[in-house]
Structure 1
Amino acid sequence: MLNAILHFLESTGFYGITFGHVIMIAIACVLLFLAIVKGFEPLLLVPIAFGVLLTNLPFAGMMAPPVLEIHENMVHTVEPGGLLYYLFQGDHLGIFPPLIFLGVGAMTDFGPLIANPKSLILGAAAQFGIFITFIGAIASGLFTAQEAASIGIIGGADGPTAIFLSSKLAPHLLGAIAIAAYSYMAMVPIIQPPIMKLLTTKKERAIHMTQLRDVSKKEKILFPIIVTIVVSLIVPPAATLIGMLMLGNLFRECGVVGRLEDTSKNALINIITIFLGVTVGATASAENFLRVQTLAILCLGVIAFGIGTASGVIIAKVMNKFLRVPMNPLIGSAGVSAVPMAARVSQVIGQQEEPGNFLLMHAMGPNVAGVIGSAVSAGVLLSLFGG
């Protein structure tokens, strides 16, 4: 009887819990607090935080791989493995992030970008944060080129792209990179405004912009087709993300596949968001997360995000030197691909200086350009370091 009681006690999570587990469970609770109470990107942070919680419960085995044995040239399953291990294969094999892009494409109006092609420059400028941070990560001596590339992509403020790239180049850092990427996406309204105000004058922030021209349906249909062909020919590794993004957008704009559009931007993206979030969080086990590298990733990530924001604003100011009709440089900060939060921040800061200033649609141009830019940047890094 005593042995049975001892055996039961040793099988409980309390027996196997470590200080590292306690820290990670506390981190999960903080993320849940930020998502639920503070409203920071709850659709992403709630499943990610709960994934962190689940993977750090001792003996639960949610991410345990199956135990196999070979007998008479036949593979037999001794233990089937944890639920999240199997769902995680969607991250590991690069399936979930492109499906997220399919849904994003179905929800995104590329009209502001088509109406103002100069927005592409601002979207490209915001990608400087990716490559400058990549150089910084290499210079730190803590990371390989593949790891540095995965960290740098945080600067694009695009969670699915960060997951897609790190799953291929540095899967062991996936949890830290994903949590950093989504946390900073959620904190766009906190991180960006001080940078935007520091780099612009009151007069610049009050610049009014003329209404964008109407974009025809033909233009909107041709845009995803042309972008897919051109980008995929220039950077083939970007075809997966760009192709899914543009397919979703074609569903939206062609007007003949309403059911596919509705599924892509509602049911499908919601299901994949649950799977992606929980499994990404589940990679943040205590032994993988509580390392010096993780702290470095969090620091480099916020630097990357800040540089990306600053680059867009600075390039907008430079462009104004050559434009007959100046643009409000605040929209340059929206070049990071946190859609549509970054565009909303531009709108809010603009209206603080001039209540009659409406920058949202103008900011959506560089914002959606940033989505394309981050996918292309990921393709470039994958082609350089994917081996």
Structure 2
Amino acid sequence: MVTIGDVAKVAGVSRSTASYALSGKRTISPAVVQRVLDAVDELGYIPNAGARALATSHTKVIGLLGRFLDDEFAPAMLQYILGVTNRARELGYDTLLVSEEDGIHALQRLSSSRMVDGFVLLNVAERDTRLEILRAALQPGATVGLPAECDGVDVFDLDFVESGRLMVQTMHDAGHRELILVSQPVHVVERGGAYVWRLADGARERAAELGVTLHHHHGDSSQPGIGRDLADILDRHPGATGLLLNNEAAAAALPSVLAARGLRAPDDISVIGRYSDDFARTFSLPFTAIDSAADELGRRAVQQLVARIEDGPDGTAPHVVELIPPAVHDRGSIAAPPTPRG
């Protein structure tokens, strides 16, 4: 096990000087501090986090603010969290997950105490009250989710408008002319979940351009409610031949709903969803889907955040807004509409 004595020997200083260089308790020349830090890196020594923070002004910790909300499907949120934590670890940073409801207070507390070097925000609302605090914080921040105002932070999201358009286009290309779109609960929209209406707007726009009938419904975020919702929606639109899902709970429930009705995709109805590949594997979903890019978004946000952290407060790189273009992952659940029985 590497000790502070080993670090001191490699750095060519006394044990006490090495300790002071890491703790900041005494004034040590910048050149000596750098030699000690180089030795730490060379030997893989893990100093006390608080001591290193005093010496370098970095904690090597990223604050991740993400809430598990009752009206959203919790397993989907985990995909975003994993993207953030995995990339942070690869870059040598730990992640402090904060899931308390009062995100404003959490940001203020973490920023003022300098417990973290920067922030990644999940569950970003269109008019997110946390952003004002984040813009004023000493530490840089990035969001996974597109707010109405993007100034002062780096923003990463899926292009939801184009995702809705692509869903409709894909069904139209297969010959479908009457479709159903199932979105997240209406409470998500009321709370500021703009990704819901952005995808729906894109779908409606493309449907109108192509002359496709699109029925839009909001479904529950968990069982058994979403199972009942799906059955009711299918009953209300017997002529629909394609189903679009912007609701992870609906995607997870659909196999059992179709089986109960004696239906199969794509023989009886074609299906396209919007969720990550990891999510599809977790729930063994056989449906074609637009990848929500949860892992990629988390990784990009951390990559950009760490670059800002390490550039320091004098960094001048402009803030970015990156919308990932949607891509369809074909799992064979879309085919030509079934021939009506005469």
Q: Which has the larger share of helix?
A: 1
Q: Which has the larger share of strand?
A: 2
- Normalised by the length of structure 1, the TM-score is 0.28
